[in-house]
Every structure is written in structure tokens, then in C-alpha cells.
Structure 1
């Protein structure tokens, strides 16, 4: 049974999943990890989601205001043993719905070129590549995306 819980950065399951995400990104990003890590603090995240599969936390994501009409998707992660089951798309859809309910009309996000599965996920879900936004404008490894939310 799948359950999606809306929460915030204080949720212990969210924090545990983010710790796993950070460990994965440290390996993928290599020397660039410290640059990216400075923009991935969770203390500002008031809108987070944890996806549970049979009461086990297997994935997470968050939204954070980027501009008055735009949120940034942050901290998307699914544990390795639960990938390929559509959980990331469910988390992404729930975040988009929450953003829309809060009055936002656009989602943006940044991911890395060393995360091909993330790039595929976002393209599959209607995100379009855009020029890198600050603070990623000079980062060769970054890929930025945008999606206009349905009304």
C-alpha cells in the first residue's frame, strides 16, 4: 500500500532519506559536491513529501519558493531497491499538485548530468531544459528544467 505524507524538514524519515541522497550525490559529484551541497540545506523546506510503501519510507521530495509564481523542486530521491516502480513520478506529481494548490504556476529544478535517471524522469514528466539559473549558471555538470503547471 502506497501512502504519500505531506510534511516538513523536521520529519525523521525525510531526514534519513536526504542523508542517503547526500551520500549518493557525494559519489556522483566528486570534487563539485561541496559547491552543490551548500544549496541543499533542508532547514528552509516547509513543504516536503515522504512516500511510504507498506509503511516503509522509500522516497522523498520538496518544494521551495523560487519566485512569487515559481517553486523549485528539491531533494528528490528514491531508495535503490524501490526504483523503477513509478514512485519518483508519484512524488513529483504530488509536489506539483501541492505547488499548484499553493498558487504557484511554474516548477523549476536543477539536476546533474551524472544523474541520467533523473534527467529521464523529468523529461518523461513534461519538464523542458532551460538555461541554467543562478547559482548554477557556470556549472558544466548542471542541467536545469522548467514546467508550467496545469491550472
Structure 2
């Protein structure tokens, strides 16, 4: 298990079945349902324990889980960011940047050279965050092709992130 610490936050690898991870994913799905007005906005195969290569949870000093994110392998050199979420009360604390940085480091150790992600028009905050973090808009890929509300991004892991987005 890998643990990364930043300020007062700690990021640790957990299993998909971890209760805190499950609770955070449920809150993420509820927020997406509210933003998009549909109970499930996942256009493709939902992530699961069978296809998530790594899942991490950010915790505050008292151990409360405040954010999560995972990676699904696309092929031997790239992965897709899935279920990135930070509890609204913890946004602006650096948790999202710490989660993303932790996953990028994990991906590099696996020999992955590129990460992709999908977000949407109802998530301008996510678009700003990913753009600041060095992700660039790409044509929609996979199950997101042809979906007008989907926005896809990628980052070559050899690129240095924008210093303003580094935790």
C-alpha cells in the first residue's frame, strides 16, 4: 500500500470495496445526478473492482475520508481517471491535486505514459482544475464519442505540470 502525505492530508491506496471509498463514490454519483438531471450519466461501462487498477482515498488529520479517485487501464501505456471526487466541504484544500498527483505517480511507476479522462459541460470547476493540472482537450474517445455533453482531456505523463497547480 502506498501512502502520500501533503500538509495535513494523507492519500492511501485502498480496495474498491473499502467502505469509505464506496461512500465517496456514492456521493460523487449523487452530485453528478443532480448536475446532469439524470440518475446515471455514465455513458460506458461503470468502473468496478474488476477493472480499476488502483483506487485512492484522501483523508484529513482525523482520518475522515474527504476525496477519492481511481485509474482504469485503457491499454499497456495509458489509463483513464475514474470517480474523481472531493467532498464539497473539503474543496480548495489541495485534496484534488494530491489525489491526481498520487495517481499520476502510480501510473508512471506502471510505465503508463498517458492519462485520459472525461468530464462534462455541467462541471466547469472540473474543467478548470484539469486544465490547470496540465490536461488538454482531446476528441471524445471510447464510449464518450458523439456525446455533446462530454468533454475529454489527456495528459502525457512526461509533461511537467503547471507550477500553479502543484500542491
Same fold (TM over 0.5): yes
TM-score of the pair, normalised by structure 2: 0.85
The residue that corresponds to 2:40 in the other structure is 34
| Equivalent residue pairs, number | 150
Structure 1: segments with no counterpart, 5+ residues: none
RMSD: 1.5
Q: What SS does structure 2 have at the residue aligned with 1:147? A: strand
Using structure 1 for the length normalisation, give the TM-score.
0.93
- Aligned ranges for residues 2-151 of structure 1 at < 5 Å? 2-31=9-38, 33-36=39-42, 38-43=44-49, 44-54=51-61, 55-150=63-158
Post-superposition shift, 1:77? 0.1
Measured against aligned partners, the alpha-carbon deviations of 1:44-79 in whole angstroms (never above 9, x if no partner) come to 223000000111100000011012210101000000
